[in-house]
Amino acid sequence: MINHPDHERTRDTSSETDPERAVYCCRICQLEADGGRRETDSSSITEPPHSSEHTNHDRTGETTTEHGSTDEHAPHDPEAESGHSHAHTGESEHDHDAHDQGADVHTGGHKDHAAHTDHRGHEQMFRRRFWVSLVLSVPVIFFSEFIQDVFGYTAPSFPGSVWITPVLSVVIFAYGGVPFLSMARTELENREPGMMMLISLAITVAFVYSIASLFLEGTTPFFWELVTLIDIMLLGHWMEMRSVRQASGALDELAKLMPDTAERVTESGDTQVVPVSELSEDDVVLVRPGASVPADGEVAEGESSVDESMITGESRSVSKEPGSEVVAGTVNQDGSLRIRITKTGEQTTLAGIMRLVDEAQQSKSRTQLLADRAAGWLFYVALAVAGITAVAWIVAVGVNISVLERVVTVLVIACPHALGLAVPLVVAINTSTAAQNGMLIRDRIAMEESRNLDTVMFDKTGTLTKGEQGVVGVETAGDWSEERVFEIAAGVEADSEHMIARAIREAAEERAVQRASISNFENLRGLGVRATVDGETVHLGGPNLIEKLGIERPDDIAAFAEETGSNAQTVIYLVHDESEIAAAFGLADVIREESRQAIEALHGMGIEVAMLTGDSEDVARAVSEELGIDQYFAEVLPEEKDTKVEQLQSEGKFVAMVGDGVNDAPALTRADVGIAIGSGTDVAIESGDIILVDNNPVDVVRLIRLSKASYRKMQENLVWATGYNVFALPLAAGILAPIGILLSPAIGAVFMSLSTIIVAINARRLGNVDLSLPA
């Protein structure tokens, strides 16, 4: 395990119960909540100045929160989702009703949580104020005397032109500066000075001094500096809100797995369509092929296979017969089932997963950005230097306008032009660079902290593996050639959409084998299929077929089947003329080639690799040994995946979880960094902090490399920004005045702008970072 001395463990379970240590996903949410608590505690009826803008988006029409109440639940395609039914004739399809109320029925109070984490209102507010302020700033800068002197031009003069700069500056200060002043008030009341107080201090001093300079001789207003300062701060915070905005749709996506209605069997044996919410224990429901199971239960009648991959992570469909348990949200495939309900509502497995997701989302802890801490320090430094400057100059020259000019210069230079952009610029470029490399960043804090990962836990099915069956071996008997057995098998499976059929067809295509022509196809439920090829009968099926036909396996076939079975792989037999086994095929979930590269690269970075799977111990061990995984957890239930992440965290490890299924959602949100595979289920994507668009495990390595590079840029920018202040503040205070070097407020403002340019150029270099894997 790698130790990271610069990393602070962010998880704090006390945040779930202690409102004073509550969790907030951005600075504005935190300040709003703190302000709301103070209002409640003081029973005040007066709203803070920013409440109408930030906390009541509905009144301003800025909220664009989207919920599942209007979403449509796409109907399942029974052909695409069917099991190994080989039904060449159409079966009845079951269309789901529109999912008009699914989110409300299944998620309960999730709306509040979604509203809390939707930053669109914040982003839109900063964006709108930035553009309005920027447009108004153009004439302010153009008519500024200092700018005219610097660039050697004369602005046109007309009646009232002298008031353009001060009047528009007042408008910009009142409109663009209000958000910072409002949030600075919250920081002041919390006694936690930070970026907002530092910004507000500078713009207020600049504003007051510039207004006063209109009436005081010997002073030079710098309205241009005031407006550009506000513009840059608005731009920085717009970019920050854009980078942190994330939809919190995990619970809504989980709810969509549940059908809205069910076919309840009446006492007369007929069925009636009822809302799922009306089901109760011991009710019997009919689940047709392609339909979702409405509640946890037990099969009372019928045989079928059920796709449980969204819940268990198991890639193979699961056969169901009377007495078998079924889980709400799973999809019936090739046969009708009558299910006796055993659990409903909040008692179902899916509801339990939803609770785990909600708990894990709430357990994310507060992270203080380096820029905030630097701003807090700089605030005290600025006040201290300003006070020392005032005292020193009063002692030296007495009370006059030059003392005021020195103090103003100190306070304006202390304003974090560069500091305010140091982190947001890097975050914005980081997000863009990540997207260009197939990574979508939904949580900037998780992206920043990826540099500290010492353990990466992968889900097996669909992440390290393709999540689909593939032919991994074949053994022929007697004179049968491999080409001939694939010709026959591919021909028999030509029209089936079952995963085993697809695997055989793909293996035949890889070998450039033509499919044989077949006739008299017949599906043998529970056994396999039968067809006629060149006038001879052939069967294709599993061990049950061999037992049913009473065929003895040749020694080489038996040995192959035993080895395949020991690796927890599926064995399918090709039988000729009901008496001779022609071949045996070994099928398994195919491991991605990229998985080997990713794990090797992670090990090269000193990062441990773990694996979670709902598959058997044999399957997990085989995959783990083949990929060189450090540790694995097999036969893991959905709730156990969550606890396995916690287990590693309790050992002091900083854990990333990489997964693609519904059962991965709690683990994704519980992990320090949740990484969702882009081609996975919507709920996994909504639960992840980072999305891998290309479904490539190697992108996990690129993610960590980009995180490390981004953090370096943040540190460099903070050094540039704060270093400038450390250098410029003494000059502004007049430390070199005895030798004739005195920094005026206007020149100080120019230097401050130059530091911003340096920070911006340095941030842009992040786009050129090399994310390629070492050879």
| pLDDT (average), residues 22-42 | 50
Q: Which residues are designated catalytic?
A: 459
pLDDT in tens, 184-200: 888 888 877 777 777 78
Nearest alpha carbon to residue 639 among 253, 313, 251, 255: 313
**pLDDT top residue among 38 and 636:** 636
Detail the DSSP E strand segments found in 711-762. Answer: none
Quickly list H helices, 249-348: 250-256, 309-312
pLDDT in tens, 165-180: 999 999 999 999 988 8
* Predicted pLDDT at 770: 79
pLDDT at 358 over 60: no
Secondary structure class of 91 (helix, strand, coil): coil
**pLDDT top residue among 748 and 722:** 722
* Predicted pLDDT at 366: 34
| pLDDT (average), residues 109-115 | 36
Of 329-333, 643-647, 685-689, give the lowest mean pLDDT range: 685-689
pLDDT at 92 over 50: no
Of 208-222, 271-285, 541-555, give the lowest mean pLDDT range: 208-222
pLDDT at 768 over 70: yes
pLDDT at 606 over 90: yes
d(CA 500, CA 588): 9
What percent of the chain is predicted at pLDDT more than 70? 72
* Predicted pLDDT at 593: 83
DSSP label at residue 332: E
* Cβ neighbours of residue 712 closer than 8 Å, sequence gap 6 or more: none
What pTM was estimated for this model as a whole?
Answer: 0.55
Give the phi and the psi of residue 465 in degrees, each rounded to 5.
-110, 170
Nearest alpha carbon to residue 706 among 336, 428, 448, 368: 448
| pLDDT (average), residues 577-585 | 90
Nearest alpha carbon to residue 333 among 105, 544, 523: 523
DSSP label at residue 292: B
pLDDT at 641 over 70: yes
* Predicted pLDDT at 108: 36
Detail the DSSP E strand segments found in 554-607. Answer: 570-576, 580-591
Cβ–Cβ under 8 Å, residues 646 and 670: yes
* Predicted pLDDT at 418: 65
Q: Give the confidence band of 714 by pLDDT, cuts at 50, 70, 90.
A: confident
* Predicted pLDDT at 535: 87
Nearest alpha carbon to residue 670 among 688, 683, 686: 688
**pLDDT top residue among 740 and 486:** 486
Residues constituting the chain: 775
* Predicted pLDDT at 90: 34
DSSP letter for each residue of 340-393? EEEE-GGGSHHHHHHHHHHHHHHTPPP---HHHHHHHHHHHHHHHHHHHHHHHH
* Predicted pLDDT at 457: 95
* Predicted pLDDT at 87: 35
Detail the DSSP E strand segments found in 82-214. Answer: none
**pLDDT top residue among 3 and 376:** 376
Nearest alpha carbon to residue 742 among 410, 400, 386: 410
Nearest alpha carbon to residue 475 among 588, 615, 585: 585
pLDDT at 152 over 60: yes
The burial of 398, by beta-carbon neighbours within 10 Å (0-12 exposed, 13-18 middle, 19 or more buried), is given as exposed
| pLDDT (average), residues 270-294 | 90
**pLDDT top residue among 348 and 316:** 348
Give the phi and the psi of residue 682 in degrees, each rounded to 5.
-60, -35
d(CA 709, CA 714): 9
Vertex 171: Cα angle to 169 and 174 (nearest 5): 105
Which strands sit side by side in the sheet containing 331-332, from one edge to the other?
318-320, 304-307, 331-332
* Predicted pLDDT at 368: 39
Report the chain's mean pLDDT, rounded to a whole number.
75
* Predicted pLDDT at 299: 93
pLDDT in tens, 654-673: 999 998 766 788 888 899 99
pLDDT in tens, 116-136: 344 456 778 888 999 999 999
pLDDT at 158 over 70: yes
**pLDDT top residue among 130 and 68:** 130
The highest-confidence range among 342-351, 365-374, 544-553, by mean pLDDT, is 544-553
pLDDT at 268 over 70: yes
| pLDDT (average), residues 299-316 | 74
- Number of C-alpha atoms within 13 angstroms, CB side, residue 63? 17
**pLDDT top residue among 595 and 256:** 595
CA distances to 210, 287, 339 from 298, in Å? 78, 12, 5
Secondary structure class of 122 (helix, strand, coil): helix
Of 41-45, 108-112, 688-692, give the lowest mean pLDDT range: 108-112
| pLDDT (average), residues 497-524 | 85
pLDDT at 54 over 60: no
State both tokens at 637. 């239930």
Q: Give the confidence band of 16 by pLDDT, cuts at 50, 70, 90.
A: very low
pLDDT at 497 over 70: no
N- to C-terminal Cα distance for the chain? 24
The highest-confidence range among 75-84, 88-97, 165-174, by mean pLDDT, is 165-174
State both tokens at 586. 């070994």
pLDDT at 257 over 80: no
pLDDT at 75 over 50: no
Nearest alpha carbon to residue 165 among 209, 116, 226: 226
State both tokens at 95. 């269309």
State both tokens at 627. 């990929």
* Predicted pLDDT at 78: 32
* Predicted pLDDT at 567: 72
